[in-house]
Amino acid sequence: MAHENMVLKSIEIPNGGRCVDIFMRPDATFGFEEFRRDTEDARGWFPIGNHGARIFRTEEDAFNEALSKVPWLGDAGGDAGPSG
C-alpha cells in the first residue's frame, strides 16, 4: 500500500524554476521540501533541499523551518505563513 504525503502549500519563485512544498504525512506529522525543475526537461520536479525526511509536529513548525533554510522563500510569497 502506497503512502502519499498531502501537500498543504506549494510556493514557487516567479520564474517557476523552484518551489517549496509544505506537506502532511499519513502519520499526521509535517515536513517540507525544496524542488527545482528545468523548463527544457519534461521530467518534472526534482527534490534538491534534502529536507523531506525531517519531521515536525505542526505545519507552522515545518513552514518556519523552511523559511530559515530556503533563502528565496520569504521573497516568493512565503511570508504569508502556513495558512496564507
Q: How many domains does the chain have?
A: 1
**How high is the pLDDT of residue 82?**
57
In a domain, 76, yes or no: yes
In a domain, 65, yes or no: yes
* 46 or 57, greater pLDDT: 57
Cα-atom radius of gyration of the chain, to the nearest Å? 13
**How high is the pLDDT of residue 67?**
95
Q: What is the pLDDT of residues 25-44, one digit of tens each?
A: 999 999 999 999 877 767 77
In a domain, 1, yes or no: no
Residue 62 pLDDT > 50: yes
**How high is the pLDDT of residue 70?**
94
- Domain of residue 61, residue span: 6-80
Distances (CA, A) of 81 to 24, 41, 43, 50, 60: 15, 31, 30, 21, 7
Backbone torsion region of residue 77, taken as left when φ is above 0, otherwise alpha when ψ lies between -120 and 50, otherwise beta: left
Strands 18-24, 6-12: pairing is antiparallel
